[in-house]
Amino acid sequence: MTAIVNQDGSERLISQEDVEEISERVAQLMRLCRHGGHRGRKALAAVTRVSETQIKRYEDKADPLMIPLDIVVEMEAMLDHPSLTMMLADIQGYDLVKRNCGRSENLRTLMRRSVKESAEAHEAILEAEGEDEMTLDDWRSIAKESGEAKDSFAVLQEVANRNIKRMLEAK
């Protein structure tokens, strides 16, 4: 690996900007802990081996002290999201992907379902209008398919709102 020479003349394998970004991300996660109902440093200190004061030092970009991995794991467990771990993977040029992501309800899965359900609702309407007169069964089919489409979009909306809230709380 090639050492990176920082503006202050020090050499590291990662840039000073990356080091500062790690501290900033820790600070963002701590804000999320505080505003997410976890009571921030106090709650984290209760489940880790360090004090609230020590945790505060990890947030300070001017302090060269970096957050230990076990504290990162505890914090991400509290938040139920590996935000800092994802950033560290990104610095090394990797994407962190949740295990079994192709089998769970990720955004692509939710999108496919909503497109499928919408298409089925449109198909029910076109089939019903292709006949001379709309029947009770036609209206039931339209109601059923449009309800399923609405439900699939409601799940997408819930996921989006949850992530909007998480991101706003982290600011």
- Residue 169 pLDDT: 77
Q: Which residues of 128-163 are buried (b: 16+ CB within 10 A; e: fewer)?
A: beeeeeeeeebeebbeebbebbeebeeeeeeeeeee
pTM of the predicted model as reported, rounded to 2 decimal places: 0.51
- pLDDT above 70 for 84: yes
Q: pLDDT over 90 for what percent of the chain?
A: 9
Q: Domain spans of the chain?
A: 4-91, 107-170
Phi, psi of 4 (to 5 degrees): -100, 125
Report the candidate in 122, 121, 39, 6 with the shortest Cα–Cα distance to residue 55: 39
H or E element, residue 151 = helix 136-170
- Residue 102 pLDDT: 47
Q: Strand, helix or coil at 55?
A: helix
Summarised one tens digit per residue, pLDDT across range 104-143 is 567 888 888 899 999 999 999 998 888 888 888 889 889 8
- pLDDT above 60 for 101: no
